[in-house]
Every structure is written in structure tokens, then in C-alpha cells.
């Protein structure tokens, strides 16, 4: 177990007595980043979603970007801190500064002046020891669900400000979500193809949600892949599934059946 933790929570023992898989609806580094998955694997338990190794890869944005590039999926230009002033100037402003291995845009700062870099990096370091600095993408934001090797519907995320940050994500009614996104078929298919390529590049299984933003030329760029997306009826992955006729109940059922197939 990572970080020297070897004890198993009581719920692992309880789950091992049953015959149904563990349905994961966790967020954060431990929940999404492979640590809980590693516990379940060591206990011989089936669970929904990707395995521990793939979950860890997806949580690491630096590692993910390298795999995406290798699969032909566009990624934001950026660098890992520390960076030279010349390197930062070559990226241009604004810059997005964020922890590499944290979800939900926790610790993210939009920097408009290089004098703000140190404070932004300091904030990100509160959550992770690796910090990413990326060129800000000014265009619209889209998301695509993936289920059992197929891309689902494309949705557009319309936050109240320039970025879909923690406040915009978790304040009810603040962000507008449009499913299906108002896109022509060809562009939607490009997003779906990139989503599947990103999912496969990370070695994920069962399901994921892939997020994109358009650059200043209107081209899609992959921000990240979420291995355990939100799973309320109004969350983004269920809305993406609904576009192609998959109800919330059917989506949950298929997730469980995929996990059962590995039991």
C-alpha cells in the first residue's frame, strides 16, 4: 500500500463477504488516484472503474500528457515548476498554475502577470509537490463520456467566468451544462475520437469522462481524463450517457455488469 499504509478499512472486510462488486463513487487523490483500488485489488474484490495502475496514471497530469501526445491527442503547452522566466514568457499569459496530481481544480490559479507566479505556485504546492504551468486556453469547454469502449454524447460546460474552477463546479446553478453540445457532427466526432484515444492511452477500462477546451484557433485540446466522474443523475457522465439513450439506471447497471465480468 502506498505511503506505508497496510491496514484495511473495516468496509473492505465487509465487502469481501458479499458477491457484488464495490461501486466506487469517490473523489480526490485517494479515491481516484489508485489507492482505494489498490486496497480492493489486494483483497481480491471486484470494483467498478479502472484498476489501480491506470487510475494512478490518470491522476498524474504530467504523465497523462506524455501518453496523450503519444496517442496523437492534443494537450496544452506547458512546463513543470521550477521554470525559467524565459520559459514562462515563451508560454505567454495568462497561465494556468495547478497541482499535477489533484482533481476538481483544487489549488488552481489563473495567472495574468508573472509577478503572481510565486504565490500561485505556493498555493498549488499546498496540495502536491509537483506543479504544472500551462498556457491558458481561451475557448469553449466540452466533455465526452466513455462507456465500455464507446464514446457517449458531447456536452458543453459554460461556467460563469473564464475557467471551470472549484467554485463553478460545486455551486448549484452557477454553471450551465448543455447536452448535447451545439456542434456540427464532424467536430463532435473529432472530440469523441480524441476522448477514446485518451481513454485508451491511459489503459483505462469500463468508463471515464474526458474534458477538452478549445485553443485560440478553435482547435480542441485535452485537459484531463476523470476516471471516477460524478454519479448523481445530473452529473456530467450521466448527462453524456442520456444523449445516446442510456438512462441513469442503465448506466449504473452496465458499470456493475462490467465489474462483475472480472469477478
Task: Give this prediction's pTM.
Answer: 0.89
Judge contact between 188 and 143, C-beta under 8 A.
no
Name every residue whose Cβ is closer than 8 Å to that of residue 195 and which is 6 or more positions away in sequence: 144, 145, 146, 151, 210, 212
Name every residue whose Cβ is closer than 8 Å to that of residue 185 and which is 6 or more positions away in sequence: none
**CA–CA distance, 156 with 177 (Å, rounded to integer):** 6
Helices 35-42 and 52-59, axial angle in degrees (round to 10): 170
Supply the pLDDT for residue 4.
Answer: 43
> What are the b/e assignments for 191-226, b being 16+ CB within 10 Å?
bbebbbbbbebbebbbbbbbbbbbbeeeebbbbbbb
Supply the pLDDT for residue 149.
Answer: 96
Supply the pLDDT for residue 166.
Answer: 66
How long a stretch of residues is the chain? Answer: 263
Averaged over successive runs of 10 residues, the pLDDT of the chain (263 residues) comes to: 47 56 88 92 94 96 96 96 90 93 84 94 94 95 98 94 70 86 98 98 98 96 96 94 97 95 82
Task: Write out the chain in H/E/C secondary structure.
Answer: CHHHCCCCCHHHHHHHCCCCCECCCCCHHHHHCCHHHHHHHHCCCCECCCCHHHHHHHHCHHHHHHHHHHCCCCCCCEEECCCCHHHHHHHCCCEEEEECCCCCCCCCEEECCHHHHHHHHHHHHCCCCCEEEEECCCCCEEEEEEECCEEEEEEEEECCCCCCCHHHHHCCCCCEEECCCCCCHHHHHHHHHHHHHHHHHCCCCCEEEEEEEECCCCCEEEEEEECCCCCCCCCHHHHHHHHCCCCHHHHHHHHHHHHHCCC
Set out the domains of the chain in order of their start, with CATH numbers. Answer: 1-76+137-263 (3.30.470.20), 78-135 (3.30.1490.20)
- CA 148 from chain center: how many Å? 17
**CA–CA distance, 12 with 43 (Å, rounded to integer):** 7
Task: Read off the C-alpha cell for 72.
Answer: 496523437
Supply the pLDDT for residue 211.
Answer: 97
Supply the pLDDT for residue 18.
Answer: 59
Amino acid at each position: 500500500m502506498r505511503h506505508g499504509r497496510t491496514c484495511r478499512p473495516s468496509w473492505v472486510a465487509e465487502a469481501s463477504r458479499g458477491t457484488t462488486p464495490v461501486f466506487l463513487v469517490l473523489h480526490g487523490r485517494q479515491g481516484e488516484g489508485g489507492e482505494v483500488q489498490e486496497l480492493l485489488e489486494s483483497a481480491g474484490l471486484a470494483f467498478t472503474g479502472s484498476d489501480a495502475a491506470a487510475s494512478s496514471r490518470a491522476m498524474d497530469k504530467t504523465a497523462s500528457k506524455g501518453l496523450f501526445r503519444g496517442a496523437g491527442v492534443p494537450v496544452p503547452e506547458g512546463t513543470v515548476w521550477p521554470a525559467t522566466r524565459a520559459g514562462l514568457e515563451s508560454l505567454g499569459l495568462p497561465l494556468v498554475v495547478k497541482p499535477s496530481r489533484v482533481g476538481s481544480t483544487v489549488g488552481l490559479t489563473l495567472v495574468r502577470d508573472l509577478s503572481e507566479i510565486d504565490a500561485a505556485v505556493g498555493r498549488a504546492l499546498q496540495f502536491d509537490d509537483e506543479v504544472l504551468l500551462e498556457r491558458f486556453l481561451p475557448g469553449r469547454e466540452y466533455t465526452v463520456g466513455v462507456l465500455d469502449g464507446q464514446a457517449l454524447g458531447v456536452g458543453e460546460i459554460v461556467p460563469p467566468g473564464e475557467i471551470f474552477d472549484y467554485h463553478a463546479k460545486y455551486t448549484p446553478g452557477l454553471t450551465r451544462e448543455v447536452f448535447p453540445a451545439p456542434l456540427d457532427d464532424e467536430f463532435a466526432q473529432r472530440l469523441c475520437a480524441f476522448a477514446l484515444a485518451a481513454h485508451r492511452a491511459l489503459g483505462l477500462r469500463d468508463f471515464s469522462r474526458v474534458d477538452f477546451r478549445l485553443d485560440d484557433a478553435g482547435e480542441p485540446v485535452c485537459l484531463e481524463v476523470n476516471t471516477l466522474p460524478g454519479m448523481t443523475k445530473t452529473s456530467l457522465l450521466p448527462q453524456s450517457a442520456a444523449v445516446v439513450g442510456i438512462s441513469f439506471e442503465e448506466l449504473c447497471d452496465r458499470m456493475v455488469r462490467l465489474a462483475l465480468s472480472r469477478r
